[in-house]
Amino acid sequence: MLEIKNLHANINGKEILKGINLTVRPGEVHAIMGPNGSGKSTLSSVLAGNPTFTVTEGEVNFYGKNLLELSPEDRSREGLFLSFQYPVEIPGVSMVNFMRTAVNEHRKYKGLDPMSASDFLKLMREKKELVELDNKLANRSVNEGFSGGEKKRNEIFQMAMLEPRLSILDETDSGLDIDALRIVASGVNKLKSKDNASIVITHYQRLLDYIVPDFVHVLYKGKIVKSAGRELALELEEKGYDWIKKELGE
Amino acid sequence: MSENIVDKVTQGDYKYGFVTDIETEIIPKGLNEDIVRLISQKKGEPEWLLEYRLKAYRHWCTLEMPKWAHLDIPEIDYQDIYYFAAPKSKPSPKSLDEVDPELLKTFDKLGIPLEEQKQLSGMAVDAVMDSVSVKTTYKENLAELGIIFCSFSEAVKDYPDLVKKYLGSAVSYADNFFAALNSAVFSDGSFVYIPKGVRCPMELSTYFRINAKNTGQFERTLIVADDDSYVSYLEGCTAPVRDESQLHAAIVELIAHDRAEIKYSTVQNWYPGDKDGKGGIYNFVTKRAICKGDSSKVSWTQVETGSAITWKYPSCVLQGDNSVGEFYSVAVTNNYQQADTGTKMIHLGKNTRSHIVSKGISAGHSQNSYRGLVKVSKNADGARNFSQCDSLLLGDKCGAHTFPYMDIKNDTAVVEHEATTSKINEDQIFYCNQRGISNEDAVGLIVNGYAKEVLNKLPMEFAVEAQKLLSVSLEGSVG
């Protein structure tokens, strides 16, 4: 579904991604790990189309389409979802209004009529339970005054509402206590199917106890330097990143 | 994206810009005593009103246009304006059949059907085109309750004592340059009287439309709420797209007696000019309420999206003890629009309270200023004011300014002022994008969210319109 070839990207002229190659097939979970500043979050931003970054080289193919040519909103409508590391607060815009706009934009893109208010509220109730979000959420402004844990649960709730084909979870575990982590992970697992895939970006092996990856990649200095099965995560947890640096001859 | 996104907003079409092809009766251009007499004669006015006009005109001749506002106002040639234009049809039609179908079509097109059965239930409308009132609906139903809702001209004929008593009591002809001009040449407008103890069962509304070319519109609204009464009143305004700017100088006077409440809402959508700043209405309006009675209350709510230049400060004189004044405003400027708007809260009575919420939104090359005065007089023990002025900027070529004045002469007064300035940030837009929401829809969502506190004060039907209007006014300001 997703094929990244030799992707290079920079911010303000500073190159962050230096030739990423990655293939993701339906049903797979990929974990991307790596030390601070290796480019993990940049990769997710670039895939989602954040205009702060400039792609200088490479190709990204998403279900046969050139992803890099699509606007950020069309990438979303094509089924690419990014769970933000730092979800943004939008004061004054209620969650229900925000989500309804988003869901209906997705429907419009697929040539469907907007959802009726009652169907929408029903869907929202259903999906909220998945991440144990409380009912007051709907009337609160997007992420405003949410605790760290609520923000992350809210991201997964939105993911459940939009039913993406590819989800990128950018450090979804950061700032979560163990209970919140469990809730978020179980939400992600319930949404997993043979037709969708996820890329889980994380610092720690901890999250991968809950969301079990099929592949683990190490991103270092803007390149994927090592890929293996889930055992790689455990090895990293134990030994840190230094041995990889050594292997690379640094 | 910043630059492009926030540069592209205002190319939305002004959808009320059409012209009605109708024969118009117009008097010669220019302003002098003869013109004032001619207007008065056309309207068949009594002598006292002509005298009032002439006094105002003579006073106006001694005045100069005010220059203190943060506005760049091109020279206005007051002799190059038509001061009276009326669609040629039968005067004061008794039924709809007598109203020119072109006029009905015009108001239909504006979403203001004048057939009562077609209207939103619970709303009575006075439709004013250029200098005259076309039709007032539900007049008879309201009359059963003793409520008077009619055009200003009819009020002069049918209720001269009421008009005489209250005309100029909130805004004297000598108040300012534009008030004097209006008092000299005002044409039509609405008159409302709510008798003692009556709660007006429907929203009253006046819809103002400028149609004729090179004319000014000078309407006057007078609302009197007697003891223990309540009324909610709305006004809406639009004008055709024209290259030349047109002048609109209105006066609105509200008088609230003991325990009476007046809620006055405006959705101002005069033609704002094109994206290069050509054309548009100059909107110079004096609006003032006298909270005359004990525990009386007046709320001004305004959504200002139109006009090339806006100069208006709906104010409350809190004369009665325990009276309350409120001002809720959303002012949007885009392209080369300029707005200098705000309020004055004059606390005279004891334990008077006022609340000001102003939300400015600027985009394009526009300038948007809040100007407010909170005055507490020596005897206004226990006066209380809270003001909040927020500015939201879209792009980096627009300006937002806040000019709060406070004049406090009583030690027991509590006056608070809060102000914020923010920019729609790119992270917010990208977050919306990532959920499948386009830039323009994102801006619409955010702007409506920002203005919600004020929009919520509008009557239901208007709130929906106003929300759409906000998004449309900013269309193209984000790329």
Give the per-residue pLDDT at A98.
95
Gap between the Cα atoms of B231 and A57, Å rounded? 66
The yes-or-no verdict on residue B8 having pLDDT over 60 is no
Cβ neighbour number for residue A54 with a 10 Å cutoff: 13
B243 touches A: beta carbon within 8 Å? no
**Residue among B427, B434, B452 minimizing CB distance to A82:** B434
Higher pLDDT, A108 or B364: A108
Gap between the Cα atoms of A6 and B206, Å rounded? 65
Chain position carrying tokens 């002048």? B247
How far A155 CA sits from the closest chain B CA (Å)?
A: 10
Lowest mean pLDDT among A117-121, B103-107, B425-429: B103-107
The yes-or-no verdict on residue A155 having pLDDT over 70 is yes
CB contact under 8 A, A109 and B436: yes
For the residues B82-102, what does the mean pLDDT come to?
66
| C-alpha distance across the termini of chain B, in Å | 8
The yes-or-no verdict on residue B118 having pLDDT over 60 is no
Mutation target vs A (from B420, B434, B438; most A CBs, 10 A cutoff): B434
Give the per-residue pLDDT at B98.
64
How far B429 CA sits from the closest chain A CA (Å)?
A: 9
CB contact under 8 A, B434 and A109: no
Gap between the Cα atoms of A181 and B15, Å rounded? 51
Enumerate the residues of chain B whose CB falls inside 8 A of the CB of residue A141. 449
Mean confidence (pLDDT) of chain B: 84
The yes-or-no verdict on residue B30 having pLDDT over 70 is yes
Mean confidence (pLDDT) of chain A: 91
**Residue among B1, B436, B446 minimizing CB distance to A105:** B436
Sequence letter at residue B230: Y
For the residues A59-63, what does the mean pLDDT come to?
96
How far B223 CA sits from the closest chain A CA (Å)?
A: 34
Task: Mark which residues 393-432 of B lie under 8 Å from A by CB.
Answer: 426-428, 430-432
**Residue among A51, A73, A84 minimizing CB distance to B437:** A73
| Domain A2-247 CATH assignment equals 3.40.50.300 | yes
What is the predicted ipTM? 0.96
CB contact under 8 A, A88 and B445: no
CB contact under 8 A, A84 and B450: no
Higher pLDDT, A125 or A72: A72
The yes-or-no verdict on residue B136 having pLDDT over 80 is no
Enumerate the residues of chain B whose CB falls inside 8 A of the CB of residue A89. 428
Asked if A87 contacts B431 with a C-beta cutoff of 8 angstroms, the reply is: yes
Asked if A72 contacts B433 with a C-beta cutoff of 8 angstroms, the reply is: yes
Gap between the Cα atoms of B444 and B446, Å rounded? 6
The yes-or-no verdict on residue A224 having pLDDT over 90 is yes
Enumerate the residues of chain A whose CB falls inside 8 A of the CB of residue B479. none
- Report the percent of chain A where pLDDT is more than 90: 64
Show the tokens assigned to A202.
Answer: 């994380």
Domain ranges, ordered by start, for chain A = 2-247
Give the per-residue pLDDT at B378.
96
For the residues A84-109, what does the mean pLDDT come to?
93
Lowest mean pLDDT among B33-47, B76-90, B369-383: B76-90
Give the per-residue pLDDT at A204.
81
Confidence class for position B206, pLDDT limits 50, 70, 90: confident
Give the per-residue pLDDT at B4.
36
B435 touches A: beta carbon within 8 Å? yes
- Report the percent of chain A where pLDDT is more than 70: 100
B445 touches A: beta carbon within 8 Å? yes
CB contact under 8 A, B445 and A98: yes
Which positions ≥6 away from B265 have C-beta within 8 Å?
Answer: B232, B233, B234, B235, B301, B302, B457, B458, B459, B462
For the residues B130-148, what does the mean pLDDT come to?
77
Report how far apart, in Å, the C-alpha atoms of A248 and of each of A137, A245, B376 are.
48, 5, 75
For the residues B126-135, what does the mean pLDDT come to?
65
Give the per-residue pLDDT at B241.
66
Mutation target vs B (from A47, A54, A97, A101; most B CBs, 10 A cutoff): A101
The yes-or-no verdict on residue B112 having pLDDT over 60 is yes
Give the per-residue pLDDT at B209.
73
Which positions ≥6 away from A136 have C-beta within 8 Å?
Answer: none
The yes-or-no verdict on residue B26 having pLDDT over 80 is no
Give the per-residue pLDDT at B377.
97
DSSP A56: E
Give the per-residue pLDDT at A81.
97
For the residues B103-132, what does the mean pLDDT come to?
62
Task: Mark which residues 446-465 of B lie under 8 Å from A by CB.
Answer: 446, 448-452
Q: Give pLDDT tens digits for B232-285.
A: 998 876 666 666 778 889 999 999 999 999 999 988 887 888 888 788 888 999
Lowest mean pLDDT among A73-82, A167-176, B122-131: B122-131
Give the per-residue pLDDT at B410.
95
Strand partners, A30: A199, A215
